């Protein structure tokens, strides 16, 4: 029928690339220090019940993200804010962060975090959400935090590391 020619040089290159990927993977997730975990948890506690407000801010800043939600596309964000459907979605999306933030700061919870974020990654990959839109989501979330929690360089650095870790796991199998 047909045969596939393998070249030992190519195989070697493949393993070198694979090894570099694993090295990059372990380097990319840098666990938060205990102080950073406390800062992320305490600042999140200031906004975690503002689910509707947070999702509304993200939609308002990114109509392309809103457009991915069939039931919300093209609608006025101010009108959506009063609907039960919007509250339900906001609760799911923002609640996901609450679940993850509840787990960080304890190394024993790392497998659980990776499982949850891995599932989120799979569901969004299936929907065809590009990584660029995760970047937009991240920027708007940080802008919201900056405006609504006690913010400072140490809080910013803690969130930056937490979100680097989160989005690294989210997109590493994309």
Among 83, 98, 109, 133, binds ligand HEM (CB under 6 A): 133
Kindly state whether residue 54 participates in binding ligand HEM, applying the rule CB under 6 A: no
Site map 95..124 versus ligand HEM, x via CB under 6 A? -xx----------------------x--xx
Kindly state whether residue 92 participates in binding ligand HEM, applying the rule CB under 6 A: yes
Among 48, 68, 75, 110, binds ligand HEM (CB under 6 A): 68
Q: Extract the tokens encoding 58.
A: 């993200």
Q: In the chain, where does DSSP find H-type helix?
A: 8-28, 34-45, 51-61, 63-66, 77-80, 84-103, 110-126, 131-148, 153-171
Q: Say if residues 28 and 45 touch (Cβ distance below 8 Å).
A: no
Exposure of 78 by Cβ count < 10 A (0-12 exposed, 13-18 middle, 19+ buried)?
exposed
Kindly state whether residue 168 participates in binding ligand HEM, applying the rule CB under 6 A: no
Query: How far is Cα 111 from Cα 119, in angstroms, rounded to an integer?
Result: 12
Kindly state whether residue 127 participates in binding ligand HEM, applying the rule CB under 6 A: yes
Kindly state whether residue 60 participates in binding ligand HEM, applying the rule CB under 6 A: no
Residue numbers of the site for ligand HEM (CB under 6 A)? 65, 68-69, 92-93, 96-97, 120, 123-124, 127, 129, 133-134, 137
């Amino acid at each position: 029928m047909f045969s596939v020619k393998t070249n030992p040089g190519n195989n070697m290159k493949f393993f070198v690339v694979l090894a570099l990927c694993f090295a990059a993977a372990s380097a990319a997730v840098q666990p938060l220090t205990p102080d950073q975990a406390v800062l992320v948890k305490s600042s999140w506690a200031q906004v975690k019940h503002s689910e509707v407000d947070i999702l509304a801010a993200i939609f308002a800043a990114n109509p392309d993200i809103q457009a991915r939600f069939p039931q919300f596309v093209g609608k006025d964000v101010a009108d959506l804010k009063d609907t039960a459907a919007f509250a339900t979605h906001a609760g799911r999306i923002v609640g996901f962060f609450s679940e993850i933030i509840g787990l960080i700061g304890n190394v024993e919870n790392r497998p659980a975090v990776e499982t949850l974020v891995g599932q989120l990654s799979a569901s969004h990959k299936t929907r065809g959400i590009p990584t660029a839109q995760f970047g937009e989501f991240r920027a708007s979330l940080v802008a919201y935090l900056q405006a609504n929690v006690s913010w400072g360089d140490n809080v910013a650095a803690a969130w930056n590391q937490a979100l680097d870790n989160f989005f690294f796991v989210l997109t590493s199998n994309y």
